Structure 1
């Protein structure tokens, strides 16, 4: 009996008992002040968001030359797929914005929705290579305005011809190694930035996933312009 009492006294005064007592007091404090848990979670989320933002900035900085080139007017890059419904909405919204803003957006073909997407992307790049940037932009919006009627190489070339462009030259260019290499470069860029879906927008220091409405685009472009 004396041994049992002695052992109990030793245990009560042991570091293990003190640790158990501390844990119990912590639990009681949390139960009595549950808002502390919410504050801790909010702080953790804020720290994670800050860390993710820093990672994005480093990723963008690594490939900034490929994204924006040497043109300071380019402030936002859009990775898109011609068969993506949200990209179609994005194109429609872009056409409502002033040219002063949209000229700061650079388009990157990122065909991820099958062979048809790749075929249209190749014709699109070929239009730019053969006819120039203004023709490319016109063709780009015309594909989306066609609302799904452009779904393969042949229909894309017919659309280009209807816009007055050299269909034969575009058809040949669409099958060139240069066009294929550009799509591959875009895919590698997307992988470097962790982009897996469309549309995705990349600013000078931030990545924006998914569809943005016109108000968000104006705000982002104005912010990017101020910071450039």
Structure 2
């Protein structure tokens, strides 16, 4: 009997025993023999463990995407047209990318150039910036300054975003106010707006969406009806944009 035959027989017997059928049961010796067959086969063919791991990962990713797609459908308006967000690029673009980011996320800083490349090369993309301050009190404080700046000078939000996210060092309330002041919005006006309009609802909305979409880190993107997790790079995003135009989905 070959290893494969032994393994198939062992698995078939194990499944039969596990099923709610009282007719067949294995004694201790048979169970031991089955275990030995399986162990022997896996030792001789360890690459199977890699295949199993890859299959598990693929299944988990598919489940994650299925959950995300359902959440995207249920929260479409909040994701793509929330009044708390600002879109760069073409406001009437045929493809919208939504990026969840944190001003203190190193991967987000590196991904800033991906956004700029896409917006430079493709004049028909709408790029929504959705702030998700998840990296501690400094991130939340910088977000609150950002929200105030957006209220006071929405036309300069793109400049503010690039300056703060692209800066070296940690984003804080102080560094965010310094960026705002450099763009002509005074600290007094920022602090007054932060007090009068704290935008706590914006943070709660972003956290709720992240939970529904299965987002555990930044950057994360919504493109079409698909989640894209991580700083995948401009080329990957461009390919998904092309797919949306071609077949209506980020992955054709």
Match of 1:169 in 2: 189
Q: Does 1:97 pair with 2:118?
A: yes
Match of 1:110 in 2: 132
Q: How many residues align?
A: 211
Match of 1:146 in 2: 167
Residue in structure 2 matching 1:199, options 204, 219, 222: 219
Alpha-carbon spacing, 1:90–1:65, altered in 2? closer, same or farther (3 Å): same
In the TM superposition, residue 222 of structure 1 has moved relative to its aligned partner by 2.6
Alpha-carbon spacing, 1:45–1:150, altered in 2? closer, same or farther (3 Å): closer
- Deviation per CA, 1:116-164, whole angstroms, max 9, x where unpaired? 11111111122211111x3111100001232126422x33122112112
- Deviation per CA, 1:189-215, whole angstroms, max 9, x where unpaired? 111212121111122321111112121
2:78 aligned counterpart, secondary structure: helix
Q: Does 1:156 pair with 2:168?
A: no
Query: TM-score under structure 1 normalisation?
Result: 0.74
CA distance in 1, matches of 2:56, 2:140: 41
Determine if contact 2:149/2:157 at 8 Å carries over to the other structure: yes
2:190 aligned counterpart, secondary structure: helix
Query: TM-score under structure 2 normalisation?
Result: 0.68
Q: Within 5 Å, give how 1:1-80 maps onto structure 2.
A: 41=52, 48-69=60-81, 73=93, 75-80=96-101
In the TM superposition, residue 94 of structure 1 has moved relative to its aligned partner by 2.1
Q: Within 5 Å, give how 1:181-220 maps onto structure 2.
A: 181-220=201-240
Determine if contact 2:68/2:214 at 8 Å carries over to the other structure: no
CA distance in 2, matches of 1:200, 1:78: 6
Alpha-carbon spacing, 1:101–1:179, altered in 2? closer, same or farther (3 Å): farther
In the TM superposition, residue 57 of structure 1 has moved relative to its aligned partner by 0.9
Alpha-carbon spacing, 1:52–1:149, altered in 2? closer, same or farther (3 Å): closer
Larger helix fraction of residues: 1
In the TM superposition, residue 101 of structure 1 has moved relative to its aligned partner by 5.6
Match of 1:3 in 2: none
Match of 2:106 in 1: 85
Name the structure, 1 or 2, with higher relative contact order (CA <8 Å, separation 6+).
Answer: 1
Determine if contact 1:78/1:107 at 8 Å carries over to the other structure: yes
- Deviation per CA, 1:158-201, whole angstroms, max 9, x where unpaired? 21121123443332222344522211211111112121211111
In the TM superposition, residue 113 of structure 1 has moved relative to its aligned partner by 1.3
- Deviation per CA, 1:32-53, whole angstroms, max 9, x where unpaired? xx69x68x84766655544433
Query: Over aligned residue pairs, what C-alpha RMSD do you find?
Result: 3.6
User: Which stretches in structure 1 are left out of the alignment for 5+ residues?
Assistant: 1-13
Q: Greater CA deviation, 67-76 or 211-220?
A: 67-76
